[in-house]
Structure 1
């Protein structure tokens, strides 16, 4: 593990995502670094891009970096950020797949 320069806290190596549980709901997800150097929790599983709204579609690159896809080919698969389906936040109304994940996470935590 590397140490963050500002906080002195341990952070995961982007090439090897760390499995974790959400502090807010207890659901399992993986930490991935984004192309901008921030960290985001990504749900497990791949989903057809057509079932996930533009802007909420993620791809995990070969080096473990999370890349926001924006628009993509309808035949492609994508991943979803846990923060978009965490039951500690309002239910997503823009995708039945995301709402189903939100409900699944709500059952795990409660």
Structure 2
């Protein structure tokens, strides 16, 4: 795989070197390969990363809400769409909307 080759060449360049700062890795990665061309290295800052803290997520995919209701083990199929998450508890049955228990 291409990524294995990249790891191998950069590890050889890092061997017996002392790294003082994380920024030093950029220069080593650029120098790790000469042919056919040096690796393209992109130095990222905080604006590169996405902020997912405002997103909510579902705390459980259990189709039942109360004790004794259906459990996750009863789900046979899950369908994700813009309209929500739908589940089937048997293969011939209808798609049912998953009860949402949102966590913010």
Structure 1 length-normalised TM: 0.23
CA radius of gyration, larger in = 2
> Which TM-score applies when normalising by structure 2?
0.24
The structure where helix makes up a greater share of residues is 2
RCO higher in structure (CA 8 A, sep ≥6): 1
Higher strand proportion: 1
